[in-house]
Structure 1
Amino acid sequence: MKKTIVSLLSTCIIAGGAASVSAAANPFADVPADHWAYDAVAALAADGIIEGYGDGSYRGQSNITRYEMAQMTAKAMANEKKGSTADKALIDKLAAEFAAELKNLGVRVANLERNADVVKWSGEARYTFYSQRTENAKGDTDSSNTNEVLLRLEPRAEINKNWNVHARLDAKVDLKNDTTDEVSLKRLWAQGNYKDFNVKLGRIPSGTSYNKNLMFFTQLSGVEVNYGSKVKLQARAGRISTGDMRYDDALKRATKRKTPADAVDFQSLAVTYKPGKLSATGAYYHFKNGMFKDTFYNDNGDKDNAHIWEIAATYRFDKNFALTGAYMRNTEADKYNRSYLVHLDYKGAKKQQQGSWGAYASYRYQGGNTSIDPTCDGAFFNTKGIEIGAQYTILPNVQAKAIYFRGKQLENDLKAEKLFGRLEFWF
C-alpha cells in the first residue's frame, strides 16, 4: 500500500513536532508559508525526521514507499523523548504498522532506528556510445564500436566520527550483443579522516589529482595515505589487476599476446602544491610486471619495470577559464616513452544546475608505454592529436557529454579518430 506524504502529515506530527512549530524554519522551496502543512513540514524537518531531496524540494505530492515511511518512523523513535504521551503512542502504532516490512527486510525496528542515517547510497545509470577508427597500412579503416548501459551503486557506511566504509558495484549491458554482465564489486575500502591526514585501506580508487590527467585512474588493492592541506603528500602501494588496465588490452592487441598478464605491483609518491589560483603536482610511479618484457616496450625484451616521472600544473584564470599542462617520461621504456598534454577548460557543467554547461579543447600525446591508464574518453592508446568536448546539464542530475578526437597513431603515423557520447543519470 502507498500513501502520499501530504496524506500522512496529519498522522505524522510526532517526536514533539507540534510543540516546536513556531521556532522551526521550513527548508523546502516548494512548501509555501501559506500551505496548510507548512508548520508540520518545518517541524519534522527541524527534528531530522524528513530530509527532502537533494535539489532542496520536498515533493509533497509524490508517493513514498512503506520502507521510506519506516525510516521516518525510526527517526521519530530516536527523538521520542521530545514528544508527549500521545506522540509516543502514535509512534508505537506506526512501528506496529510497518513491522511486517521490517521483518521481511530482516531488520528489527531497533536496528533501523540505530542505522537509519548510517548507510547512504548514491550511484549513476549511464548510456555510452563510441566509435573508434584507425587507418591500417593498406589505407583501409579498422573500426570498433561500443554501445552499452552501466549501472553503478556506491554505498557509504559510517563506522564512527573518523572512519567510514565505501564500495562500488558495477553492472553493464552490451546493447550491441544484448549481453549482461553480472554485478561486480569494483571497489571496497575503509577510510580514516583526520585533520590534514587521510588513509584508505582495501581496493581503493587510484588517480592523480589534476583534470584530464595522463596517468592514471583505476583501482588499487593496497593502501593510500594523504597528508597536508596547502602542500599535500600522497603515497600509494599495492597491486593492480591487469583486467582493470586499458594498457594490458591495448598491449595484447599490439603484440598479439592472448593471455592476460598477472597483477601489477605498484608504488607511487606525489606532491601537490596549491598556492591560490595555481595547482602544481609532481609524481613518481613504479610498476613491476612481466607484461613489460616485450620488444614493444624494450628493444631487448629484458625489462619488467616501469619508472615513470610526471609534472603537471593547472592555473585558473577566473571562474570560467582554466589551463592545464602535463608531461610524463618512462625512463625504462625504449619507445613510446613520453606523454604530454595542453588542456583548456571553459566553465563546467554542474550536476544539479539545469542549463549549466562546459567545454574544453586539448592536445594530447599519449605514449603507449607511459600513459598506462589515463582518464581520457577521447584520445586512446599510443595516439596523438586534438580532442574537443562539451557537457550540458539537461535536468538536475542528468548530463550529456560529447567528445571528438582526431589525430595520428604513434606507431605508424596513420590516422586515428574517435567519437564519444554519454548520457548520465545520478542519484
Structure 2
Amino acid sequence: MKKTLVSALTTALVVGAASTTFAASNPFSDVPADHWAYDAVSQLAADGVIEGYGDNTFKGNRNITRYEMAQMVAKAMTKNTSGADKAMLDKLAAEFAEELNNLGVRVSNLEKNADMVKWTGEARYRYWSYRDEQADGSKAKTNTDQLQLRLFPTAEVNEHWKVKGRLTGSMNMDKDNTGDMKMTFVYADGDYKNFNVKLGKMPLYSANDEGLVMDDFFSGAQVTAGKDLKVVLEAGRWNAGADANGYVNANPYVKDTPAYNARKAQVDDAASYQAVQLNYAKGKVSGGVGYRHFDSEIFKTNNYSKHADVDDANIWSVGGKYAFNKNIALLGSYAQNTKADYYKKSGNVELDYKGANKANKGSWGAYVAYRHLGANVSLAPTYDTAHVAHLNEKGWDFGASYIPMKNVLTTVSYFNGKQFDNHDKKAETLYARVSYFF
C-alpha cells in the first residue's frame, strides 16, 4: 500500500482537527514545516494516531502494511466523529475488519455508531405428516404444509438496554392462503453483569428441562441473576388457548373444531403465570429444576381432573445434560403436574451427536430420543414431532440436520410410538424443514 502521506491525510479527514491550531513543534525530521502535509501529520501525531519510527522519522514515501493502516484506523475509532468523517471511518473499519479483530479492537464499537436498529430473519418451509391408528384399526393421516417468514428487529436503546421483537407471517400451502404478518413478541431487554431483566411479550422456554414443558411466549416480566448458577423468576400471562403457530395448547380441544369454539366462548384462554427456575451450567455439566403455576378456566375439563373443577396447574420439572466430548451429549428430563389427574407426567431421554451450525457449510447433527409426553404437563413442548394437538404419546424419536450451504438448514425427524390415551394405538409423525437465514 503506497503511503506517500495519502493514508495520513485520509485518517486526518476521519479524525478531524482536535483544535483549530496544529502542533507548533516539528514531530518528524523528514517532514519539514514547508511540506504540503505538515499540518495533517503534526495533528495526527499530536492526537496519537500515528507515532512514526524510533529515529524520529515518518518515512512518508514508504509502503505500509495493512496491519499498520489498521493500527491507525483503530486509534481513529477512539475519536468522536460525525458526518462525512464518520462515514469514512465506517468504510475504513469495514475494509480492515479482520486486522482490527486481530488487534483486539471490537468491531461492535463501530457498530454502535452505525444504525441503531438491526434486522435479521428466517424464511422456512415446514411439513408435518401425522399417521394415527384409529379404534377400528384404520389409519388417519393429517398433513400440514407451512411456509413462514420471520423478521427479527433489534433496537439499541443504550449500552445496557435493547428492544427486541419478531414479526411472523405464515401460510398453509395446502390451502394456498395468503396468510398475514403479525407481531409475535416485543420486549425490552436490560443486560447487566450477571443480571438480566426482560419486560413485555417474550419467549417462554423451560430451560431447566430442555423444553419438555414449554417452548412458547408469555406477556410479563422475567428476571435472571447469577453466573454459573442462575435464578430465573417469571410472572405474567400465558395464552393457554393457542401457541405461536395458532394451535390450541390445552388438551383436548383442537383449534376451529366445534368443541374448541364452544369452549372458547365460555372461558378466557389467558392464564396467569408464575415460575421460578434454578439453572446450572459449567464445563460438561448443565441442568436445573423448575416450578410453574398456571391459572385458567380452560383446565376445567374431564380430561384434566376427575370432577372437572380444577382451574390451575402446578408443574414441577427437573433436567440435566452431560457432554462426554464435543460431539456426544446425553440429556434427560422429567416433569409432573400435581394438580392434574390425567396425562400428568412427561419424560425425555435423548442422545445427541454433533450439531448443525448454520455458519458452517457441511456441518451436521443427529439425535435419538425416547419421549413420554402427557398433554397436561407438556403444555407446549419444544420437539418438532410433538405437535400440541398430538400429545399423550410415547415412543422413539429420530432426527438429523444438515447445512448444505452457509445459512441454510435442512432437518428431517421421525416419531414412532403409541397413543396412551387411545388404548396404545400406533402413532407416527414425519417432520421436515428447510430454513434460509439472513
TM-score (norm 1): 0.75
- Which runs of 5 or more residues in structure 2 are unaligned? 1-9, 17-39, 51-64, 92-110
Q: Cα offset for 1:392? A: 0.4
Counterpart Cα distance in 2 of 1:353 and 1:133: 35
Distance 1:348 1:81, change over 3 A: closer
Q: Which of 306, 318, 321 pairs up with 1:299?
A: 306
Distance 1:176 1:307, change over 3 A: same
Counterpart Cα distance in 1 of 2:112 and 2:287: 44
Counterpart Cα distance in 1 of 2:289 and 2:414: 29
Equivalences for 1:28-427 in 2 at 5 Å?
A: 46=73, 76-78=84-86, 116-209=114-207, 212-241=210-239, 242-244=241-243, 246-248=247-249, 250-253=251-254, 256-259=259-262, 260=264, 261-380=268-387, 381-412=391-422, 413-427=424-438
* 1:223-265 deviation per Cα after TM superposition (whole angstroms, max 9, x unaligned): 0000001110001011112222755365214993324352111
Counterpart Cα distance in 2 of 1:205 and 1:248: 15
Q: Cα offset for 1:175? A: 1.1
Aligned amino acid, residue 409 of structure 1: Q
Distance 1:77 1:236, change over 3 A: same
Q: Indicate the SS of the match to 1:78.
A: helix
Counterpart Cα distance in 1 of 2:392 and 2:258: 13
Counterpart Cα distance in 2 of 1:426 and 1:148: 17
Q: Cα offset for 1:130? A: 1.4
Q: CA RMSD in A?
A: 3.4
- Which runs of 5 or more residues in structure 1 are unaligned? 1-11, 24-37, 50-72, 84-112
Aligned amino acid, residue 348 of structure 1: G
Q: Cα offset for 1:354? A: 0.2
Aligned amino acid, residue 78 of structure 1: K
Counterpart Cα distance in 2 of 1:45 and 1:150: 46
Task: Determine what percentage of the aligned residue pairs are the same residue.
Answer: 39
* 1:281-335 deviation per Cα after TM superposition (whole angstroms, max 9, x unaligned): 1000101111110110001001001001001000111100111110101111111
User: Where does residue 14 of structure 2 map in the other structure?
Assistant: 15
Counterpart Cα distance in 2 of 1:190 and 1:162: 10
Counterpart Cα distance in 2 of 1:371 and 1:45: 57
Counterpart Cα distance in 2 of 1:210 and 1:378: 21
Contact 2:251 2:376 in 1 (8 A): no
Contact 2:277 2:291 in 1 (8 A): yes
Q: Cα offset for 1:44? A: 12
Question: Greater shift after overlay, 195-204 or 252-261?
Answer: 252-261
TM-score (norm 2): 0.73
Q: Indicate the SS of the match to 2:145.
A: strand
Contact 1:197 1:226 in 2 (8 A): yes
User: Where does residue 59 of structure 2 map in the other structure?
Assistant: none
Contact 2:161 2:188 in 1 (8 A): yes
Aligned amino acid, residue 252 of structure 1: Y
Contact 2:123 2:437 in 1 (8 A): yes
Counterpart Cα distance in 1 of 2:272 and 2:351: 34
Contact 1:247 1:373 in 2 (8 A): no
Counterpart Cα distance in 1 of 2:200 and 2:72: 37
Distance 1:327 1:82, change over 3 A: closer
Q: Indicate the SS of the match to 1:258.
A: helix
Q: Cα offset for 1:149? A: 1.1
Counterpart Cα distance in 1 of 2:408 and 2:71: 29
Counterpart Cα distance in 1 of 2:114 and 2:367: 42
Counterpart Cα distance in 2 of 1:394 and 1:268: 40
Contact 1:346 1:358 in 2 (8 A): yes
* 1:105-157 deviation per Cα after TM superposition (whole angstroms, max 9, x unaligned): xxxxxxxx997331111110111111111111111111211112111000101
Counterpart Cα distance in 2 of 1:118 and 1:125: 24
Distance 1:215 1:222, change over 3 A: same
Aligned amino acid, residue 433 of structure 2: R
Question: Greater shift after overlay, 272-281 or 381-390?
Answer: 272-281
